[in-house]
Amino acid sequence: MHAKRLSHSELAIACALGALMMATRFHHFGSALQLPDASLAVFFLGGLYLRRTLAFGAYAGLAALVDYMTIAHVGVSDWCVTPAYAFLLPTYACLWWAGVWCSEHERRGWRRYPRLAGALFCATALAFLISNASFYALSGYFSGLSLIEYSTRVAKYFPPYLASAAAYVAAAVAVQGLFAHMARAKAGAIAGRS
């Protein structure tokens, strides 16, 4: 049995999300000159719009490739590449499957947004927990630090972690709404001429 091919719009979305990840994966929270990392949003939106497990694997591979290239050729620090790095797969899977869940429970209009926001919040919180707990347990950097002290230190990073993912998802949903509005207007204009 052959897998269903991506439609033209799905292919465009897949390419746009991949390009967004490649363009932003250099810095977690961004700076005055660079956008924050969009990886969390890419996985959520990939699940929402593409839903294919193969696409999840492609984005996970792309993330690893970008990390390798930036460490090997751009001079980005490899401090985060520890045995905990493998836990990025379940971290990103939380976001992917939250997006898939939202797509399977699709609603139209304003009633869609609370579901998306809730799923994104829960998935991002779980992703934050997985990535930080695994880094604490497996990186080898925190042997002298209790879990409570570590948790207190990293908790301050959750708001920007969530905010950047939410901003990218909100922008994507707004763009989708704009395209849908333009398509309805065009269809209405064509129907009005007939």
Q: Which domain holds residue 155?
A: 8-193
Task: Evaluate whether residue 3 is within a structural domain.
Answer: no
Return the pLDDT at 31. Answer: 53
Task: Evaluate whether residue 32 is within a structural domain.
Answer: yes
Q: Tell the residue number behind the tokens 């304003």, with chain if given.
A: 110
Closest to 27 (Cα-Cα) out of 70, 60, 59, 62: 70
30: left (phi over 0), alpha (psi -120 to 50) or beta: left
Return the pLDDT at 28. Answer: 57
The total of structural domains in the chain comes to 1
Task: Evaluate whether residue 96 is within a structural domain.
Answer: yes
Return the pLDDT at 92. Answer: 98
Return the pLDDT at 109. Answer: 62
pTM for this predicted structure: 0.90
Return the pLDDT at 3. Answer: 59
Task: Evaluate whether residue 36 is within a structural domain.
Answer: yes
Low-confidence ranges of the chain (pLDDT < 70): 1-3, 27-33, 107-110, 194
As given in the structure block, the two tokens for residue 36 are 């924050």
Return the pLDDT at 19. Answer: 96
